[in-house]
Chain A
Amino acid sequence: MARQSTYTPTYALRTVGAWAVALLLFFPLGWLLLTAFKTELQAIAIPPELFFTPTLENFHEVQERSDYLHYAWNSVVTSVVSTLLGLAIAAPAAYAMAFFKGKRDKDILMWMLSTKMMPAVGALVPIYVLAQKSHLLDTQLALIIVFTLSNLPIMVWMLYSAFKEIPNEILEAARMDGATLWQEATKVLLPLSLGGFASTGLLCLVLSWNEAFWSLNLSSAQAGTLATLIASYSSPEGLFWAKLSAASLMAIAPIVIFGWFSQKQLVQGLTFGAVK
């Protein structure tokens, strides 16, 4: 076969196409970034100003007016605790199904996943009432419980696929070597599936951090997460584009940076079992 030139028309077309899609996807985020550093006047100027003197005024104001750190702390606590709690519950479930196979494993896994298919709003009233009656409205605990439960199916699935990669005989060898269940889990299973735990944890951290529906409905000033903070900059006080952008940027920055550094683990976790 003759070697093809790299610069064929199809190749050029594909390159242009790829760039177009990438820019389209990045545009809202890029615009958000720009707007966050504009004044409110610049933000609504028509035609839009591409060149301007950046200002940090919006960030100061967001922190002063609504205590950014308070909301950020709530986000950190709810997402980290719900992720750890979820891992602790999902790991034994995944262990049981991966290493002690039963006839109904597939059905149970499907059933778990099916709970994710119901729209969250369908459960809003009962959950709201439950939270109210147990005096958990606007508490971190309420959000932690809801985040944990709603991420649990995904966690079980991901850990299950991670565990399936480990030959059962290695665990049996540990048992023969005198390991108790706890030693088997901590000295053999955990080190061998560390990648799986990392990617599962990372994904759920991101999902909890970005969660808006339950945060908005179950929390406000006390336990509100960054999602609540962003929302507070839209309707009630009129649309302040620059401040809204600054708040959004501050809300997503930690998780975007975090995701950037951990994307290798994330991708690995999502393709478990897919590529051998």
Chain B
Amino acid sequence: MAYLQLKGIEKFFGEHRAIKGIDLNIQQGEFVVFVGPSGCGKSTLLRLIAGLEHIDGGTLSLEGRDITHLPSSKRDLAMVFQSYALYPHMSVFENMSFALKLAKVDPKVIAEKVNRAADILNLTPYLQRTPKELSGGQRQRVAIGRAIVRAPKVFLFDEPLSNLDAALRGQTRVEIAKLHRDLGATTIYVTHDQVEAMTLADRVVVLRDGLIEQVGTPLELYDKPANQFVAQFIGTPQMNVVPSAQLPAAAMPLVPPGAQGGSIGLRPETVVVRQDDQGLVRGRVDLVEALGAETLIYVHTAEGAQLVARQSERTHLSPGDAVTLDVATGQAHWFDSSGRVVNA
């Protein structure tokens, strides 16, 4: 029995069907990340679970209890908002203790819990300050602290890192991962950043246009994408997907039967750039991105395909140089003309 169960969840905004029937089971203690491009419905789905939007179809149950139409205040879930949504007229201590106070918890217990959470999040020196006296990162931690003092059944995070600068984002991401490991709380996390999804998640749910494209562990999604959308959404730089007609037949000895007339997907690390003419695919260098630890080489082939190769060695190549490529078709992904994966 799943801890949190979504069955045929639907949401309409006027005539527009924003969420088109979502089925998902989340286990206790799991860290699930909803990821997808903007407008895919991931935030809406989270708000439906939170009870901040009305569920128009399907059922939602938590620990076997139907909570589809229960108000947010009775669901015992905690949410960390993108804008933090701290109470501006309360101190950090009051912000973090608000929920417990509403629940009429003994003040001594409240103080104890808040102090412990503040300790974990390094907020102890700031407890008497108001939110406007804090930096962005500190506000973020107060928002997380407000959620953890309650020990809710499920933590909901709505793009919590998108208002932070890059350095702080990385650091906070690590803290959230650590926090989840220590607390073991069931967590649903929404992001459009696939790096956050890959690094934090036990399981990733990829959404597009209000539908689930694929659910799986980060590496499952990377290694066995169900379709071209997931294949290209997960991984940076994107997977190369080219019509199989744009690669020389010699480079692709074994096209699976269903993939005739479809496309081939190659992760950048399976494309090897050679400076001799021994490779099976000929092309010219468009651009070289030297990132230090890795180098990205963008090549267009004689047949007109665009490919990017990732290698850990540095290179002397420059745009315009003629090269040949080895493609590891053994590790390739094959897609039929509608973008579905075809197993080799």
B-contacting residues of A (Cβ < 8 Å)?
167, 169-170, 172-180, 183, 187-188, 191-192
Assess the B79–A173 pair: CB atoms within 8 A: yes
Please indicate the chain A residues that have their CB under 8 angstroms from the CB of B103 in the complex: 178
Assess the B73–A192 pair: CB atoms within 8 A: no
A172-B50, A173-B79, A178-B102 known, 8 other contacts, Cβ within 8 Å: A167-B85, A169-B83, A170-B87, A173-B87, A174-B87, A174-B98, A175-B73, A177-B99
Assess the B85–A177 pair: CB atoms within 8 A: no
Assess the A192–B89 pair: CB atoms within 8 A: yes
Closest Cβ–Cβ distance, residue A197 to chain B (whole Å): 14
Please indicate the chain B residues that have their CB under 8 angstroms from the CB of A188 in the complex: 87
Q: A188-B87, A191-B89 are in contact. Are A179 and B73 (CB under 8 A)?
A: yes
- Nearest residue, chain A, Cβ from B76: A178
- Nearest residue, chain A, Cβ from B152: A176
Chain B CB within 10 Å, residue with most, of A177, A188, A192: A177
The 0/1 profile, CB within 8 Å of A marked 1, for residues 174-206 of chain B is 000000000000000000000000000000000
What 5 A-B pairs have minimum CB-CB distances, sorted nearest first? Answer: A177-B99, A169-B85, A173-B85, A175-B72, A176-B79
Assess the B50–A177 pair: CB atoms within 8 A: no
Assess the B85–A170 pair: CB atoms within 8 A: yes
Assess the B73–A178 pair: CB atoms within 8 A: yes
A-B contact count (CB 8 A): 60
Closest Cβ–Cβ distance, residue B31 to chain A (whole Å): 19
Please indicate the chain B residues that have their CB under 8 angstroms from the CB of A169 in the complex: 81-83, 85
Closest Cβ–Cβ distance, residue A192 to chain B (whole Å): 6
Assess the A176–B72 pair: CB atoms within 8 A: yes
Closest Cβ–Cβ distance, residue B48 to chain A (whole Å): 13
Closest Cβ–Cβ distance, residue A133 to chain B (whole Å): 45
Please indicate the chain B residues that have their CB under 8 angstroms from the CB of A174 in the complex: 87, 98
Bound-state Cα–Cα, A111 to B200, Å: 52
15 pairs, CB–CB < 8 Å, chain A vs chain B: A169-B81, A170-B86, A172-B79, A173-B79, A173-B86, A175-B71, A175-B72, A176-B52, A176-B72, A176-B79, A177-B78, A177-B150, A178-B73, A178-B102, A187-B98
Assess the A175–B52 pair: CB atoms within 8 A: yes
Assess the B50–A176 pair: CB atoms within 8 A: yes
Please indicate the chain A residues that have their CB under 8 angstroms from the CB of B87 in the complex: 170, 173-174, 188, 192
Bound-state Cα–Cα, A183 to B101, Å: 11
Chain B CB within 10 Å, residue with most, of A175, A176, A187: A176
- Nearest residue, chain A, Cβ from B150: A177
Check B77 for interface membership: any CB of A closer than 8 A: yes
Closest Cβ–Cβ distance, residue B50 to chain A (whole Å): 6
Check B139 for interface membership: any CB of A closer than 8 A: no
Please indicate the chain A residues that have their CB under 8 angstroms from the CB of B146 in the complex: 173, 177
Q: A172-B52, A173-B79, A175-B52 are in contact. Are A180 and B73 (CB under 8 A)?
A: yes
Assess the B83–A167 pair: CB atoms within 8 A: yes
Assess the A172–B81 pair: CB atoms within 8 A: yes
Please indicate the chain A residues that have their CB under 8 angstroms from the CB of B81 in the complex: 169, 172-173
Check B253 for interface membership: any CB of A closer than 8 A: no
Bound-state Cα–Cα, A167 to B89, Å: 13
Please indicate the chain A residues that have their CB under 8 angstroms from the CB of B125 in the complex: none
Closest Cβ–Cβ distance, residue A167 to chain B (whole Å): 6
